[in-house]
Amino acid sequence: MRFSNEAKVGFLVFVFSLGFAFVILLFGDIPLFRPAVKTYRVYFDNVGGLSQGAEVRVAGIKAGKVKSVSLKEGKVEVVFELDKNITLYKNAEAEIGTLGLMGDKYLNIYPGSPSAGILEERGTIDKSLGYADMDRLVKEMTSASETLRLMVENFQLILSENREDIRRVIQNLEALSYNLNLIAMENRDALRGAINNINLLAYNLNRTLPQTIESIDRLAKTLEGIAVENRQDIREVVANLRQLSGDLKTTLPELTTNLNQLSKNLNLMVSENKEDIKISLSNLAELSKSLRESSERLNSILTTIDKGEGTLGKLVKDEELYRNVLSGVKTLSKTGEVADKTNLYIGFRGELYRGGDSKGILSIKLQPDGEKYYLLEIVGDSRGRVYKEEILPNQFIVKKEFEPEITVQYARIFPFVGNSELVLRGGLKESTGGIGADLLLSERLAITSDLLDFRRKDRPQDKDLKPNLQVGVNYKVRGPLYVRFGGDDLLNAKHRGAFGGVGLMFTDNDLKYLLGGIRLPLP
């Protein structure tokens, strides 16, 4: 039987097709038709199930496959192929990703930046980022859940043990709310008067604010001419002062609100204690009557003593006793002279720090002579005292405690260059040990410095912090008003920042004038 040429050609094509299909099934692809590729390698501690033939993605785009996965010298070596057109750089990174939450693993490559240089073919990627291990994630979530369960149990135990106390607190709060509402209703007229006073105060502040800002600007221009040799430093100080002026513009509404609240509280206190004030005046009248009667009796006794009658009269006539009494009087006179020479300064100031923190400071300065003085300050700090508290074994939380801080220091005054003076201080600074030095250039200008908080317990999350060094400039604007600005925590670059503030410092003469002019709003 003879076959036609067409049949022979068809049979030959069929045979070659079968052979071609067999090669494809056996080897997976035809080397002749494979695109050009480049080979690289990377090492991992654990590949989490990555297998040969897995996808390789460059910046999320499928670009190759894993050629081999093998263990070499305690590391997992992954050899992979990429398209010839894709370029990797020497700072490229590799990580193992998961397709979906529980899907197959694939190798993800971050190509790097051209500035690092091109990674040669067959090169090794130095940085590997690991893989997403679901077992480890589940284990960590289980541990967190157990910790949360313990916290809930402890909270429930606390609630059960203090149930009666909590109930009493709620009852007290309800009673307090009722009393506050009752007070507001009874003092409605007083509240209206306080609100009118507050509105008047706000109007006056808004009217005088431009003049205050203009005065501060003039002060900034005046400071530019101080100390020619420190011109650059003065420029920086003036820039900080201008920034403080802008901050005052933004914070003035808050200051006005605080003054309004103060006025409201004072009026409320006077109205609530009206009956007590009347009783106090009545008691004063009775006391005055008693003093008058006592004065008459005292005059009678003094007449008897002057006549030398009785035991006390005889003692007064004794010359030796007279000399002893005279000596005691002289001693008391000297003590009075010392007290008269002692100067008393009382003031307060507010300071604004980096990050919106602030301080309120009440100062009392007692200066017996021109060589020394004693300083007492009560400080309210918005940053508070930071400390760690252990809630579970080896588990800590950071807490803040807002309590007043105390400054108690002894200062010595020494003459310095020209008419300036140098002051050295030491003692307790804001409830920690501290030392300080002040250079008094004139009656208006002074440069201050303080070194405090040597153990740095205020920031337990930071290690190896240096003590807090604070350097500032005090400038007396007019009367008791002064401004203060400078740098805070200068030895620690991470927390270094600027501060600024405004304060009032009254002398004993100022206090006598102010106290003499006080008039209580009596009914």
Domain count, the chain: 3
C-alpha dihedral (378, 383, 386, 392), degrees to nearest 10: 130
The pLDDT tens digits of the residues spanning 107-146 come to 999 999 999 899 888 889 988 876 655 555 666 777 788 8
Distance CA 57, CA 88 (A): 12
Q: What is the pLDDT of residue 501?
A: 93
pLDDT greater than 80 at residue 481: yes
Q: Let me know: does 352 contact 358? Beta carbons within 8 Å.
A: yes
Whole-angstrom distance, CA of residue 461 vs CA of residue 293: 69
> 361: how many CB neighbours lie within 10 A of its CB?
20
Are both 394 and 504 inside the same structural domain?
Answer: yes
* Average pLDDT score, the chain: 78
Contact by Cβ (8 Å): 500, 484: yes
Structure tokens that stand for 219 in this block? 């002060």
SS3 for 483?
A: strand
In the sheet with 37-44, reading across from the earlier edge strand, the strands are 124-125, 37-44, 75-83, 61-72, 55-58, 105-110, 93-98, 127-131
**Does residue 486 share a domain with residue 369?**
yes
What percent of the chain stands above pLDDT 70? Answer: 70
CATH number of 390's domain: 2.40.160
Instruction: Give me 183's structure tokens.
Output: 């007070």
Predicted TM-score of the model (pTM): 0.38
363 and 266 share one domain: no
Of residues 463 and 71, which shows the higher confidence score? 71
**pLDDT value at position 46?**
85
Specify whether 500 is located in the same domain as 387.
Answer: yes
Q: 367: domain range?
A: 342-516
**CA distances from residue 109 to 53, 87, 99 in whole angstroms, order as listed:** 16, 11, 15
Based on the domain organization, do 376 and 504 belong to the same domain?
yes
| Beta pairing class for 55-58 and 105-110 | parallel
Q: Nearest CA to 217 among 255, 253, 246?
A: 246
127 and 53 within one domain: yes
Q: Note the pLDDT tens digit of each residue in 147-195.
A: 888 888 888 888 888 888 888 888 888 888 888 888 878 888 888 888 8
Q: Looking at the structure, tell me whether residues 250 and 352 fall in a common domain.
A: no
Residue 282 domain-assigned (yes or no)? no
| Angle of helix 310-317 versus helix 319-341 axis, rounded to 10 | 80
Residue 133 near residue 99 (C-beta atoms within 8 A)? no
> Is 288 within a domain?
no
Does residue 234 share a domain with residue 360?
A: no
Backbone angles phi, psi at 10, to 5 degrees: -65, -40
Q: CA 223: distance to chain centroid? A: 30
Domain assignment present for residue 509? The answer is yes
* pLDDT per residue as tens digits for the range 373-422: 999 999 988 776 666 666 667 666 666 666 788 899 999 999 988 889 99
Residue 89: strand, helix, or coil = strand
Q: How confident is the model at residue 522 (pLDDT cuts 50, 70, 90)?
A: very low
